[in-house]
Structure 1
Amino acid sequence: MQNEFQAKISAIIVTWNSEKDIVKCVDSILKYENNIEIIVVDNNSQDNTVNILKNKGEKRLKVIALKDNVGFAAANNEGLKHANGKYILYLNPDTLFVESGLEKLTNQLNSNVGLVGCQLLNADRSFQPSVYMFDNPVNIVIEQFNLGKLMPKVIAKKYAPYLNKIDTNVEVDWLVGAFLLISKRDCQRIGGFSTDYFMYAEDMDIAFKIHKLQKKVVFSPNFKIVHVGGNSEKQDVSSTKKEKMFSSRKVFSDKYGWNNLPIFYFCYLIKFLLFSLAGCIHGDYKKRSKEYWRTLKIIRKVEE
């Protein structure tokens, strides 16, 4: 049995058939951080993830091998049961630490701030968007038609924050779930991740629950990690990414009294019509119109 390691921060990482990513992720954390335990919850991977991690013999590493793929939310909640740290870091397996300073970031969590995210970088160290607004008709239309690019910068910062590099701490609606830092106490108060979702929207949901505690969600550019993105997701061919995404959006809407799927449908209908007309001129536009038509059918299916 591994010796218990008492840490200030517990990093919980859910993985599924991601042995190459998770080994790199764990090694990067061990390299840059000392006062942290790493809890990997494996969702019944069919690769060699569990054996590789267990054979590392690292006292700061706990490996929890689930017998079934219970989904992202439930697996994170299982990891929380084994966490000893005062603070919880929810982390994706396709992330890499590239600097120290995580412990300083915990100082931002207090009676007013309940959730903190950091700057995500692409593999080439370029900027990766991670700040978003909750769905409403205005925000959906702006995002779907890329209207933020046409707005003055001062307005775009408010209505299209995902387009802008943010160089100061700011209060936000929600953050991409590749990196979410929260106190264990607040995590327990909100019940961890909602298992209403199997995949997608869990990060939006947990941020919403923090807001309901009358606490802020904050983005901090003072700490950076690399996020490759989507490697586990690409392996799941049981249904389309968009169907899962819109299904989760519907769950979120049903929970909190917002019905935004008709707005998404309207946006894709407009794009379908515009690209269908443009397709008479150029074949590439016709391909896009077919993709929008498929998305319309997905939204209709989810709404049923």
Structure 2
Amino acid sequence: MKLSVIIVNYNVRYYVEQCVNSVERATRNIDTEIFIVDNDSRDHSVHYLHNRLKDRVEIIESSYNLGFARANNMAIRQSDGDYILLLNPDTIVGENSIKTVLDFMESHPKAGGVGVKMHNSNGSLAKESRRAIPTPFVSLLKMLGLSTRYYMSRLSWDEPGQIEIISGAFCMVRREVVDKIGGLDKDFFMYGEDIDFSYRILKAGYENWYVPANILHYKGESTQKTSYRYVHVFYQAMIKFFRKHYGHLSFLITIPIKLAIYLRAFLALLTMEYVHLHKKLGLTFNEGFSTIFCFVGSSGMLGECKKIARRKGLEASFCKSLDDIQPCDVLVYDTEMFSYEEIIKHANKHAGSFNIGTYSRRNHILITPTEVIVGS
């Protein structure tokens, strides 16, 4: 087996199905197995995915929400691939991306792990695609708002380059690396496990690389980032990483960093409480706001989407060509007419002009960065 792809799901069944569809397109000529680990979802994900993806994937049903690290480790233990791809459920993989990464790793034997060019939901490039180890100095710079070093901003987006931290949204590693350093650290429930894993790859004598292969990342669709739980889990993960790898340093160094992390967490909670209070007092208004959609695709796709637009009362335009698209908040692409690679590149060309939506006639589902609409 050449490749094992592992996707952890928690209440995002429609995004998972889209992710799997993109992986299958990207691995048509690659000996691949796909695992979905369901973390005790409450949206009937297991039943849905069994019905939709029967005989196409291996589904592992956890009776508990084990967190990202433990869930991935469950599938890693069952997998057989020479390479392992950890992939977020809210991603879309370009048709050329997986082969591009595999070819790179085959020709660079010291590459223990590889990350890719991630695009945000509005087509812009995600700076998290390339990151440095959050050493005390780098962390302090980032806390002060100086993030050039942390995000390795001086690297070219269009050429492979050595990096230090690979995003867990798309992380391909060699089997031999996992055999040597072990899986993800189970003490990280969510967030920080990719930083720790990447650092351990480097400490084992391997290299981490960025390769300009395209994926779209809806960036946290499976996580409510405005929740108090998110703030707690995220910043606790930062403290865990710091204690694990830099706890031996002088308290003159560690105490300021820890205080800075706690301060950022406190400010995040304060901002969140401010927003919630404004909403409660009725000081936040969205009167007259509506999302404008533009659908582009085949006649059959447009016909189905017109029915959805009428049923949901959407303000929308309909086009048969990318040359004819109208100004909009969400541009919905026909995934049967356009390749995922074409969708990502087109959106990047118009980065910031609209958010990316998709519609598949295979399952009659409209997916946007913020909502899912099931057609008839």
In the superposition, the TM-score normalised over structure 2's length comes to: 0.63
Residue among 209, 221, 234 paired with 1:231:
221
- Structure 2 distance, partners of 1:256, 1:269, is 21
Note if contact 1:12-1:38 (Cα within 8 Å) is conserved in structure 2: yes
1:169 matches 2:123: no
- Note the C-alpha offset of 1:159: 5.2
| Alpha-carbon distance change, 159 to 11 in structure 1, aligned in 2, over 3 angstroms | closer
Number of the residue aligned with 1:134: 133
* Conservation of the 8 A alpha-carbon contact between 2:92 and 2:215: yes
Unpaired segments of 5 or more residues in structure 2? 275-376
Partner of 1:125: 123
Counterpart in the other structure of 2:256: 262
User: Match of 2:217, as an amino acid?
Assistant: H
Q: 2:169 aligns with which of 178, 181, 192?
A: 178
1:175 aligned counterpart, secondary structure: coil
* Identical-residue share of aligned pairs (%): 29
Shift of 1:267: 7.8
The answer to whether 1:248 aligns with 2:228 is no
1-structure distance, mates of 2:114, 2:261: 32
Q: When you count helix as a share of all residues, which structure comes out higher?
A: 1
Q: In the TM superposition, what is the alpha-carbon distance from 1:87 to its structure 2 partner?
A: 0.7
CA distance in 2, matches of 1:118, 1:164: 13
Structure 1 SS opposite 2:11: coil
Matches of residues 197-208 of structure 1 in structure 2 within 5 Å?
Answer: 197-208=188-199
Does 2:57 correspond to 1:61? Answer: yes
Other structure's SS at 2:179 match = helix
> Deviation string for 1:197-241 (max 9, x for gaps)?
1111000011011011111111111x111000112211895x432
Question: Could you tell me how far apart the structure 2 residues matched to 1:41 and 1:195 are?
Answer: 15
Retained in 1: the 8 A contact 2:133–2:150?
no
Amino acid across the alignment from 2:85: L
Alignment size in residue pairs: 264
Q: Which residue pairs with 2:317 in the alignment? A: none
1:135, CA displacement in angstroms?
1.8
1:291 to 245, 250, 271: 271
Normalising by the residue count of structure 1, what TM-score does the alignment of the two structures yield? 0.77
Q: Which has the larger radius of gyration?
A: 2
Structure 1 residues 112 and 58, CA gap change in structure 2 (3 angstroms)? same
Stretch deviating more after TM superposition (212-221 or 126-135): 126-135
Change (3 A) 1:162 1:19: farther
Distance 1:137 1:65, change over 3 A: same
Change beyond 3 A, Cα 1:147–1:107: same
SS in 2 for 1:56: helix
Structure 2 counterpart of 1:38, from 34, 56, 73 = 34
SS of the aligned residue for 1:192 comes to coil
Task: Answer yes or no: is the 8 Å Cα contact 1:176–1:203 preserved in 2.
Answer: yes
Q: Distance in 1 between matches of 2:55 and 2:269?
A: 54
Q: CA deviation at 1:27?
A: 1.4
| Contact 2:19 2:92 survives alignment (8 Å) | yes
CA–CA distance in structure 1, aligned partners of residues 269 and 56 of structure 2 = 51
1:25 to 1, 19, 26: 19
Change (3 A) 1:94 1:163: farther
Q: Secondary structure, in 3 states, of the residue corresponding to 2:142?
A: helix
8 Å contact from structure 1 (residues 269, 292) kept in 2: no
Deviation, 1:168, is: 1.4
CA contact (8 A) 2:165 2:198 kept: yes
What is the Cα deviation at residue 108 of structure 1? 2.8
For residues 173 and 238 of structure 2, the distance between their equivalents in structure 1, rounded to whole angstroms, comes to: 23
Measure, in 1, the Cα distance between the counterparts of 2:121 and 2:238. 28
- Post-superposition offset of 1:60: 3.5
- Cα distance between partner residues in 2 of 1:252 and 1:105: 28
Query: 1:104 offset after TM fit, Å?
Result: 3.3
Change (3 A) 1:213 1:175: same
* Distance across 1 between alignment mates of 2:95 and 2:162: 24
Report the 3-state secondary structure (helix = DSSP H, G, I; strand = E; otherwise coil) of the residue aligned with 1:185.
helix
Offset, 1:292: 9.9
Aligned counterparts of 2:245 and 2:139: Cα–Cα separation in 1: 17
**Offset of 1:42 from its aligned partner?**
0.3
For residues 113 and 12 of structure 1, do their structure 2 counterparts lie closer, same or farther at Cα, with a shift above 3 Å needed? same
